[in-house]
């Protein structure tokens, strides 16, 4: 009887020990990456630029978008600029780094028409030409802009999704921009919700380091 | 702006439908609640105790645990003290508030034997008696501590509990979330452990970024 009970307790221990090692769902993999990202962000040596790069790399690895950008609002002039561009050809990357958005432009629906798909998320469609003529060079394949969409659920050149980072007053202080998924399809809803969480976490870090007066 | 073509209007409508905020599953609801928690916690007017209280409420609402306690390191004397409890009787909550631990006590495997279930989480099994003499009063039903026997390997007993540790910028512990007593009476699912682990990591990160671990 005693032996039987000991064996049962050992089975409980085995179940618990497996918690540390196995990871099989996509959600669990995302959560693990968020934990690692925050762990690295906490170290005193990781400055904001390094954190933004880390964020872009983590998102790119997890969600399989070929193009990932991160931009933030500059504390010196209040304008928005790209800080990280992954997956772009050199010319497009340089063109992006030259772009400066005013706070009004960030939410200008005439200039950048978008479909609101979350409290902090906008989906920009190629058909709506959500870019200025001068911004054509900021795309990897400018010649593909305006080409017909082969089917509704396919993402084409000129489609992109922005996830905004907000301050405590819900003002935009940065954004995460994704385009060109590796499978060519619209991301699923769960991916969008996870990416909103990444933007939210990044917003908290950007706010603390840039806007709260406690700059590192 | 020229009027939208019917094709584009239909495409936009399909996008709205695909990503609709109306039909959310439990996980999506949890993600949204965490987003709201982040906004609340990053507000400079939000105090540490309010942050911890909202964190506990979120875990209680979305996950399986009925009882929670949160301990933080007091920067004044370096001791860990419980600052928040939920789901316990008033006398148990009062008993929690009396306890003080040094960092050595917290990770003392002799007094508190545990199983490491992730980088930041430990499970304390009832059979290992993970409490010191006098701490029995920190349980809602102390008389059951030694009486209850695990009937199935996935049962959760009165004295079983889990700690999710929060760490500072130098990797030093700054506090922990303690969870016990699941609604089902069973061990929490592994995915639940990951959710709480992630929430602990987010909260500790905001605490560190805001410098609240030093105040």
Phi, psi of B111 (to 5 degrees): -75, -35
Kindly state whether residue A30 falls inside one of the protein's structural domains.
Answer: yes
Read off the pLDDT of residues B65-122 as tens digits, 9 standing for 90 and up: 999 999 999 999 999 999 999 999 999 999 999 999 999 998 888 889 999 999 899 9
Residue pairs between chains A and B whose CB atoms are closer than 8 Å = 158
- Our count of domains for chain A comes to 1
Residue A6 in any domain: the answer is no
Residue A8 forms part of a structural domain: no
> Does the residue A52 lie in any domain?
yes
A39:B201 CB<8 A: yes
Q: B99 and B135 in contact (C-beta within 8 Å)? A: yes
Integer Cα distance of A201 and A4 in angstroms: 48
Q: What is the ipTM metric for this complex?
A: 0.92
The answer to whether residue A3 sits within a structural domain is no
Does A5 have pLDDT greater than 90?
Answer: no
Q: Is residue A10 part of a domain?
A: no
**pLDDT averaged over every residue in chain B:** 91
- CATH assignment of the domain containing A70: 3.30.450.40
Q: Which residue has the higher pLDDT, B42 or A216?
A: B42
Using the CB atoms, write b or e for A64-83: b if 16+ within 10 Å.
ebebbbbbbbeeeeeebbbb
Under DSSP, the state recorded for B133 is T
DSSP assignment of A66-120 equals: EEEEEEEE-TTT--EEEEEEES--HHHHHHHHH-EE-HHHHT-TTTS--EEEETT
Model pLDDT, residue A196:
97
For residue A38, give the H/E element and its range: helix A26-42
CB B79 within 8 A of CB B174: no
Q: Say if the Cβ atoms of A5 and B149 lie within 8 Å.
A: yes
Residue-level pLDDT at B146: 73
pLDDT tier for residue B2 given thresholds of 50, 70 and 90: low
Two tokens at B88? 């316990």
Q: Is residue A13 part of a domain?
A: no
Tell me if A19 is assigned to some domain: no
Claim: this prediction has a pTM higher than 0.80: yes
* Chain A residues touching residue B152 (CB < 8 angstroms): 8
What gap in Å lies between CA A114 and CA A130, rounded to an integer? 7
- Contact between chains at B19 and A15 (C-beta distance less than 8 A): no
Q: Which of A7, A11, A12, A197 to mutate to test the interface with B (most CBs of B within 10 A)?
A: A12
Q: Which domain holds residue A41?
A: 26-211
The model's pLDDT over B117-149, given as tens digits with 9 standing for 90+, comes to 998 999 999 888 888 787 877 777 777 777 778
């Amino acid at each position: 009887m005693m032996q039987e009970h000991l064996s049962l307790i050992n089975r409980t221990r085995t179940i618990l020990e497996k918690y540390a090692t196995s990871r099989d769902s996509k959600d669990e993999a995302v959560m693990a990456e968020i934990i690692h990202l925050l762990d690295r962000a906490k170290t005193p040596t990781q400055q904001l630029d390094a954190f933004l790069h880390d964020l872009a790399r983590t998102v790119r690895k997890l969600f399989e978008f070929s193009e990932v950008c991160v931009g933030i609002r500059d504390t010196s002039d209040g304008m928005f600029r790209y800080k990280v561009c992954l997956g772009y050809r050199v010319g497009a990357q340089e063109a992006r780094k030259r772009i400066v958005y005013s706070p009004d432009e960030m939410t200008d629906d005439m200039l950048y028409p978008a479909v609101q798909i979350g409290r902090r998320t906008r989906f920009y469609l190629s058909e709506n030409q959500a870019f200025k003529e001068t911004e054509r060079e900021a795309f990897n394949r400018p010649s593909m802009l305006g080409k017909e969409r082969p089917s509704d659920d396919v993402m084409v050149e000129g489609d992109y999704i922005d996830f905004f980072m907000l301050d405590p007053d819900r003002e935009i202080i940065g954004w995460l921009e994704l385009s060109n998924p590796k499978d060519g399809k619209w991301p699923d809803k769960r991916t969008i919700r996870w990416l909103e969480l990444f933007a939210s976490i990044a917003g908290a870090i950007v706010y603390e380091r840039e806007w709260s007066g406690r700059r590192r | 702006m020229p009027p939208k073509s019917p094709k584009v209007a239909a495409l936009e409508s399909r996008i709205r439908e695909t990503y609709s905020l109306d039909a959310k599953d439990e996980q999506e609801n949890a993600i949204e609640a965490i987003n709201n928690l982040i906004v609340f916690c990053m507000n400079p007017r939000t105090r540490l105790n309010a942050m911890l209280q909202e964190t506990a409420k979120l875990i209680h609402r979305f996950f399986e645990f009925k009882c929670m306690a949160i301990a933080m390191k007091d920067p004044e004397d370096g001791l860990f003290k419980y600052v928040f409890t939920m789901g316990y009787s008033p006398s148990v909550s009062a008993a929690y508030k009396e306890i003080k631990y040094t960092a050595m006590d917290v990770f003392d495997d002799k007094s508190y034997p545990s199983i490491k279930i992730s980088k930041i989480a430990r499970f304390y099994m009832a059979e290992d008696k993970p409490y010191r003499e006098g701490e029995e009063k920190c349980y809602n039903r102390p008389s059951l501590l030694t009486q209850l026997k695990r009937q199935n390997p996935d049962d959760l007993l009165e004295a079983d509990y889990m700690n999710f540790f929060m760490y500072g910028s130098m990797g030093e512990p700054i506090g922990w979330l303690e969870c016990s007593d699941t609604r089902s009476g069973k061990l929490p699912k592994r995915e639940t452990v990951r959710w709480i682990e992630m929430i602990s990591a987010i909260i500790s990160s905001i605490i560190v970024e805001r410098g609240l671990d030093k105040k």
